[in-house]
Structure 1
């Protein structure tokens, strides 16, 4: 087992202390840093970005070749950790004699943790397991000051955590599974822009992800979690099929065919799509097609008829009707407004 003592005062210092033990090279571009690893200890990367509003992004995307324990001293740096596993799992415990329980952060689970001043956080990472872990770290005073946010919109428990300027309390919330967070974090990882625009897009997504963590915690403590009979495995099947629909938008999908392909009942499919996307299967397919159509209108030279058939609709009039209902503008008007050149319609 590899043990790494973390006494740093910020996220960058944390990653540099990890580097001292397991090696690798830190690369920087546009204010975005990555520890690149390809040695006997690990393969992959650890990315970190510090923002000016008391928040930092820390992302693990790697495989450790031995079990790793991070022993993090909360005396110098004790942010609120908003964590999420896209792949794999990891463990956490507080460093108090009365608390020896290691709690597992499972795949697709929202977790919020902070220690008390002078305490310790222990992070446990498994061996030979692909890890994709997103951690947003919030330093309370600068966050509340920079964001002009006194926190009243949070529920009382989380509000008290933010106002605990002296870090006198511990806090641990291991929430329910949230695949909407997975979609947003995947979008964060797929940002393709460069320079200042890239950092601005990443910062915007980080703020959205942080908000989603907080909203889920609010729902849970108010006893309003989204109830479901679906297992985590079944939710993953629903999400995987939603991604398939987006990649193959023109296919003539039927609920019966999807049920047969996934092995889920039609009722479970409907429940899963409503839970994850707040839409029935049919509504999700229609929404995805309209989003693709709108994208085609701004990025291609296709006319409306070509777009209609390329996304799986057979009726142009029906497409025009639902497009206007959704975007409050007709396809023809949208096309004229968003294309510089005249395109036959």
Structure 2
């Protein structure tokens, strides 16, 4: 086991400390710092970026050849960590706990230590690990405008408002497959320069809100349905991606049930849990989003767009489009033209 001691005050300085144990080279581009390594310890990269509103992002995408134990030595201040595991698993515990908590693939966690209470994170050997970790410095974050902390549930309100770091907090979420779609979007960004930084910042803010929303569901006892297994939820997510990739196909509950091997009841339950919509509602939602994108990016007329995305009735399309976006397709098109001019 390799023990990596971390006690730096900034994320960038933390990356330098990690380099002392893991080796590799650090590069910087557009405000992103990346530690890349390929040696006897492991291969992969750790990248980080910080924003001026007290939030930073660290992503680990690596395969280690020995267990890696990160020891975070906490002094008088410690950020709140919002973590998500896309690949593999990792373990976490406070120094005053005897056992580790395991954060499995597609699971998230929220934790923060109190002053002088160290934190351990264990990354297992011979396992491809992809972790997304958002750090929130409370003293900086509290200065940001429009942070309505009173709207948080009682537990999270105490966590955010504890600017003296007097207590530790940990929440380990059940499976959260929907978040993986947004984490993957963040990983796959290919923009450059200022555009890239702004896109990353927007996605980080979105992910942070998803972490908080999931904890709200936990507080309200809205948990994963007991009747749905992890593999079944992954299968449902796969079917949802098919609909996104080609919304024009003639989707129906019976065919999706046959393709997935899941009962219609489980499909409905899974779609409601992951996307807050029935299967039919989800298909309609994706088609309307696709139609809106085509109006923005193509020269197709309304009738062509209607049939391209799988609708058979233009009047029905116009009706549900207005219900969703509070304007007709023609009004939306005219608005785009005015903006372009």
Instruction: Give TM-score, length-normalised by structure 1.
Output: 0.92
Gaps spanning 5+ residues in structure 2: where?
none
For residue 189 of structure 1, what is the aligned residue in structure 2? 187
Moved over 4 A (4+): 339-342
- Aligned partners of 1:293, 1:146: CA distance in 2, in Å? 36
Residues 175, 224 of structure 2: 8 Å contact kept: no
Find the residue that maps to 1:258 and give its secondary structure: helix
Find the residue that maps to 1:152 and give its secondary structure: helix
Residues 3, 68 of structure 2: 8 Å contact kept: yes
For residue 327 of structure 1, what is the aligned residue in structure 2? 325
After TM superposition, the structure 1 stretch with the greater mean CA deviation from structure 2, 36-45 or 235-244, is: 36-45
Residues 43, 63 of structure 2: 8 Å contact kept: yes
Find the residue that maps to 2:143 and give its secondary structure: helix
How does 1:220-235 map onto structure 2 within 5 Å?
Answer: 220-225=218-223, 227-235=225-233
How does 1:126-165 map onto structure 2 within 5 Å?
Answer: 126-147=124-145, 149=147, 151-165=149-163
Could you give the per-residue CA deviations for residues 151-190 of structure 1, whole angstroms, max 9, x where no partner exists?
Answer: 2222222222223223221211112222232222222223
Query: Which of residues 266, 270, 281 is equivalent to 1:268?
Result: 266
Find the residue that maps to 1:45 and give its secondary structure: strand
- Aligned partners of 2:63, 2:145: CA distance in 1, in Å? 36
Residues 77, 114 of structure 2: 8 Å contact kept: no
For residue 252 of structure 2, what is the aligned residue in structure 1? 254
Structure 1 residues 280, 148: closer, same or farther in 2, change over 3 A? closer
Structure 1 residues 146, 320: closer, same or farther in 2, change over 3 A? closer
Could you give the per-residue CA deviations for residues 269-324 of structure 1, whole angstroms, max 9, x where no partner exists?
Answer: 00011111111111111111111111111111222232222212222232222222
Find the residue that maps to 2:248 and give its secondary structure: coil
Residues 72, 120 of structure 2: 8 Å contact kept: yes
Residues 76, 165 of structure 2: 8 Å contact kept: no
- Aligned partners of 2:77, 2:59: CA distance in 1, in Å? 18
How does 1:1-345 map onto structure 2 within 5 Å?
Answer: 1-75=1-75, 78-96=78-96, 99-147=97-145, 149=147, 151-225=149-223, 227-339=225-337
1:258 Cα deviation from its structure 2 partner = 1.1
Residues 94, 118 of structure 2: 8 Å contact kept: yes
After TM superposition, the structure 1 stretch with the greater mean CA deviation from structure 2, 156-165 or 268-277, is: 156-165
After TM superposition, the structure 1 stretch with the greater mean CA deviation from structure 2, 287-296 or 126-135, is: 126-135
Could you give the per-residue CA deviations for residues 92-128 of structure 1, whole angstroms, max 9, x where no partner exists?
Answer: 11112xx221100112222111122112111111122
1:150 Cα deviation from its structure 2 partner = 6.5
Find the residue that maps to 1:47 and give its secondary structure: strand
1:227 Cα deviation from its structure 2 partner = 4.1
Instruction: Give TM-score, length-normalised by structure 2.
Output: 0.93
1:226 Cα deviation from its structure 2 partner = 5.7
- Aligned partners of 1:285, 1:222: CA distance in 2, in Å? 28
- Aligned partners of 1:155, 1:332: CA distance in 2, in Å? 42
Gaps spanning 5+ residues in structure 1: where?
none
- Aligned partners of 2:329, 2:190: CA distance in 1, in Å? 28
- Alpha-carbon RMSD: 2.1
How many pairs does the alignment contain?
A: 340
